[in-house]
């Protein structure tokens, strides 16, 4: 997973993880699954929001990034994060357990995005849970992933609805990204 950011502070200037997580309705006691969690740009704030009764699962193939996430979680005293090294295509930490399954700027990175979304369906609480896809707009830019591999929102929506979801909303999230919310049917 490439995240294309120079540093977290730089990224925070145009993407506020706390604001985004509260906007998608993450609340205390929730179970949040971050597929492709990297170093925890969203997983750490999510762990703070869900609190001690809540749970955050972070899935990633990058062991070094997860080691850094683990060290940060420890330094913040967050004991509610479980990290799993593995591919999104093959990793389902629990069935019908998640309030939110979150893809933070990485759906275009997976070998088989359809399979990853099918797994999200298995993990979400039926009817209640939400799939969140935050990704780069299909625009030519001097930074971010190559234009060719970006998923326009229409393509992401088609993938998501094909795997048994209904779209709830689609909107811009800051200047460079869009935010899709879907619920399992």
User: What does each of the 185 residues of the chain score in pLDDT, given as a tens digit?
Assistant: 444 444 556 655 667 899 999 999 999 999 999 999 999 999 999 999 999 999 999 999 999 999 999 999 999 999 999 999 999 999 999 999 999 999 998 888 899 999 999 999 999 999 899 999 999 999 999 888 899 989 899 999 999 999 999 999 999 998 899 999 999 99
The pLDDT of residue 9 is 60
CB 4 within 8 A of CB 144: yes
The pLDDT of residue 2 is 46
The three-class DSSP label of residue 171 is strand
Please give the span between the terminal C-alpha atoms of the chain, in angstroms, as a whole number: 29
The pLDDT of residue 12 is 57
CB 102 within 8 A of CB 124: no
Determine the longest span between alpha carbons in the chain, in angstroms. Answer: 42
What does the alpha-carbon distance between residue 22 and residue 92 come to, in Å, rounded to a whole number?
25
The pLDDT of residue 1 is 44
The pLDDT of residue 13 is 63
Sheet strand arrangement including 177-184:
81-85, 55-60, 31-35, 100-104, 130-136, 177-184, 165-173
Angle at 98 between CA 36 and CA 64, to 5 degrees: 25
The pLDDT of residue 143 is 87
Closest CA to 129 of 153, 170, 94: 94
What does the alpha-carbon distance between residue 38 and residue 54 come to, in Å, rounded to a whole number?
20
Q: Residue 99: how many CA atoms within 13 Å on its side-chain side?
A: 15
- Structural domains in the chain, CATH included, are 25-139+156-184 (3.40.50.150)
For residue 2, give every residue at least 6 positions away whose Cβ sits within 8 Å of its Cβ, in sequence order, or none: 109, 145
The pLDDT of residue 11 is 59
The pLDDT of residue 4 is 47
CB 103 within 8 A of CB 135: yes
């Amino acid at each position: 997973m490439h995240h294309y950011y120079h540093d977290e502070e730089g990224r925070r200037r145009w993407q506020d993880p706390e604001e985004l997580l509260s906007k998608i309705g993450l609340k205390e006691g929730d179970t949040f699954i971050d597929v492709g969690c990297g170093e925890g740009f969203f997983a750490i704030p999510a762990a703070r929001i869900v609190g001690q009764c809540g749970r955050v699962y972070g899935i990633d193939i990058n062991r070094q990034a997860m080691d850094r996430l683990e060290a940060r979680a420890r330094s913040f005293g967050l004991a509610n994060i479980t990290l799993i090294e593995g591919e999104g295509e093959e990793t389902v930490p629990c069935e019908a357990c998640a309030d939110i399954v979150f893809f933070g700027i990485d759906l275009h990175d997976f070998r088989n995005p359809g399979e990853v979304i099918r797994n999200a369906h298995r993990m979400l609480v039926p009817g209640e849970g939400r799939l969140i896809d935050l990704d780069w707009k299909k625009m030519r830019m001097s930074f971010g992933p190559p234009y060719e591999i970006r998923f326009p929102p229409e393509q992401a929506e088609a993938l998501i609805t094909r795997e048994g979801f209904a779209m709830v909303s689609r909107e811009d999230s800051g200047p460079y990204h869009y935010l899709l919310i879907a619920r399992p049917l």
